[in-house]
Amino acid sequence: MLHDVPVGSIDELPLGGRKLAFAGGRSIVLFNIDGTVHAIENSCPHNGASLASGRLDGRIIHCPAHGLRFDVTTGCMPGAGGLCLTKLPVDVRDGRLVVTVNDTAAPGTPPA
């Protein structure tokens, strides 16, 4: 089931900035790239390393564990093929950042 989760104010995310947040039980990182907000899960698809502290060059995030590079705007590695990050829909509503998450609880797990 999809849920919209407020994760802060757009004022907390200046141009070129990033913000670590939690939504629907997930650690996510939001980026303001050229005035557009992008959200990714805070986990490298290679080995699960946190991306929150990775070096950001323009719109390319570098995984601090092994140096893999991902385009924050597409979620994928530059060039053809390769791994992709999990991107999440994010909107700015009345100055608030709102991320849409899909609850993926295990079968038989009661909702939180």
108 in any annotated domain: no
111 in any annotated domain: no
Q: What does the CA dihedral 105, 64, 38, 5 come to, rounded to 10 degrees?
A: 30
Number of domains in the chain: 1
112 in any annotated domain: no
Could you tell me the CATH number of the domain that includes residue 14? 2.102.10.10
Average of per-residue pLDDT across 97-108? 73
User: Across the chain, what does the average pLDDT equal?
Assistant: 90
Domain coverage including residue 51: 2-98
Instruction: Please tell me what DSSP assigns to residue 55.
Output: -
**Model pLDDT for residues 58-96, shown as the tens digit of each residue:** 999 999 999 999 999 999 999 877 899 999 999 999 999
Record the pTM. 0.87
53 in any annotated domain: yes
Residue with structure tokens 């995310």?
13
**CA-closest candidate to residue 92, choices 7, 3, 2, 1:** 7
For 19, the enclosing helix (H) or strand (E) is strand 18-23
